[in-house]
Amino acid sequence: AAVDARAGALLSATLASTPEGQPRVGIIMGSDSDLPTMRAAAEALEGLGVSAEVTVVSAHRTPDRMLAYARAAHTRGIQVIIAGAGGAAHLPGMVAALTPLPVVGVPVVPAGAQLGGVDALLSIVQMPRGVPVATVAIGNAANAGLLAARILAASDAALQERVLAHQARMEAEVLAKAERLES
Ligand code: RP5
């Protein structure tokens, strides 16, 4: 509970304008030290008006909590789980083994990491047939948020419109930069 409170406090500014109501996306991470990376997932979802919950669940340090979270998430109305971890990053794969929900994995580079996140990437991406995890690039939690939103948008026309608007904004930003460079 203390760690959840700390994660909650750190994210309170980010999530201040998150839509209220039942969270559709569960964002979990192996340690609160992953939060500086993982908050980008929450920010991406918030930008698209998708409600999310954020907490710490460790495959190694809190295995019972991981089991309980993963088994119950879909019964609580969560529709996609984003799981981030560094090092021997077993959290996304183990959660995917326990839930019927789509799981997006984020390889995190912990402070002082020796292997630059490649260890976490390989731990997350190399899943056995039958247990899928959609793995994003090392440290790219923003893409995890965007991917979760796109998954939800496949059956949510209003959200799909917001995803399209986001893509249009990105395009306009790049074109404006190109124009400035060329002038
Ligand atoms: C992993 O170990 C966590 O996901 C984190 O990336 C890493 C280091 O955790 P702390 O020692 O900082 O809690 O399980």
pLDDT tens across 117-153, in order?
Answer: 999 999 999 999 999 999 999 999 999 999 999 999 9
Q: Answer yes or no: is 167 within a domain.
A: no
Whole-number Å distance, alpha carbon 51 to ligand 1 midpoint, is 25
**9, part of any domain:** yes
Mean pLDDT of 6-12: 55
- What DSSP state is assigned to residue 134? E
Both structure tokens of 14: 């980010």
Give the residue-averaged pLDDT of 15-19: 45
Rg of the chain, C-alpha, whole Å? 17
Structural domain boundaries enclosing 31: 2-155
Q: Is 123 in the pocket of ligand 1 (CB under 6 A)?
A: no
Number of folded domains that form the chain: 1
Q: Kindly state if the Cβ of 108 falls inside 6 Å of ligand 1.
A: yes
Task: With respect to residue 28, please indicate whether it lies within any of the assigned structural domains.
Answer: yes
pLDDT value at position 3? Answer: 53
The upper half-sphere exposure of residue 178, i.e. CA atoms within 13 Å in the direction of its Cβ, equals 6
Interface predicted TM-score (ipTM)? 0.97
Atom 9 of ligand 1: nearest residue by CA position: 31
Domain CATH code at residue 28? 3.40.50.1970
Place of tokens 């669940």: 57
What the block records as the tokens of 137 is 């690039």
Instruction: Specify if 179 maps to a domain.
Output: no
Residues composing the chain: 183
Q: What pLDDT is recorded for position 17?
A: 40
Nearest CA to ligand 1 atom 14: 30
* pLDDT above 90: percentage of residues in the chain: 86
Q: Residue 16 has what pLDDT? A: 40
88 CA to centre of ligand 1 in angstroms? 9
Helix (H) or strand (E) holding 38: helix 35-47
Give the mean pLDDT of the chain. 92
Residues 6+ apart with CB under 8 A from 66: 57, 58, 59, 91, 94, 95, 98
**Residues forming a β-bridge with 81:** 26, 103
Report whether pLDDT(12) > 70. no
Among 18-22, 53-57, 172-176, 178-182, the minimum mean pLDDT is found in: 18-22
User: Is residue 23 pLDDT above 90, yes or no?
Assistant: yes
Task: Look at 11-15, 111-115, 119-123, 157-161 and tell me which has the smallest mean pLDDT.
Answer: 11-15
Q: Are 105 and 125 in contact (CB under 8 A)?
A: yes
| Cα gap 72→55, rounded to integer Å | 14
Band (15; pLDDT cuts 50, 70, 90): very low
| Nearest by Cα to 86 from 124, 40, 140 | 124
| pLDDT tens digits, one per residue of 60-79 | 999 999 999 999 999 999 99
Task: Quote the CA–CA distance of 78 and 72 in Å, as a whole number.
Answer: 9
Answer whether residue 172 is part of any domain.
Answer: no
DSSP line for 148-179: HHHHHHTT-HHHHHHHHHHHHHHHHHHHHHHH
Please indicate, yes or no, if residue 99 is contained in any of the structural domains. Answer: yes
- Is position 117 within any domain? yes
The pLDDT-based confidence of 29 (bands split at 50, 70, 90) is: very high
The answer to the question of residue 181 being in a domain is: no
